[in-house]
């Protein structure tokens, strides 16, 4: 059980870091962090729907994995 808990905690840290990065890359009302790094390029090439949809899919996938890991860690805590 200890090995499983350690593996889940490592996955939780990794997914948390990637979630923060992915959320900051999203384009918000003000343009987001992606506009800061892309500058004027993002207004023309970055506005493609495919890139934004892929970013959404990746973010949702990481969020689901993060949520599952949190639930599993909670269940492991209850068992012990």
Residue found by looking up tokens 């499983």 in the block: 4
Using the CB atoms, write b or e for 6-34: b if 16+ within 10 Å. Answer: eebeebbeebeebbeebeeeebeeeebeb
**The pTM is what?**
0.74
Q: Which helix (H) or strand (E) holds 61?
A: helix 49-79
> Is there a contact between 5 and 73 (Cβ–Cβ < 8 Å)?
yes
Digitized pLDDT (tens) for each residue of the chain, 80 residues in all: 799 999 999 999 999 999 999 999 987 766 556 566 665 555 555 456 888 899 999 999 999 999 999 999 999 999 87
């Amino acid at each position: 059980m200890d090995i499983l808990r350690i593996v889940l905690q490592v996955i939780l840290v990794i997914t948390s870091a990637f979630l923060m990065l992915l959320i900051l890359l999203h384009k918000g009302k003000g343009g987001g962090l992606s506009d800061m790094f892309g500058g004027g390029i993002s207004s023309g090439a970055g506005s493609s729907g495919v890139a934004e949809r892929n970013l959404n899919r990746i973010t949702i996938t990481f969020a689901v994995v993060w949520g599952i890991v949190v639930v599993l860690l909670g269940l492991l805590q209850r068992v012990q």
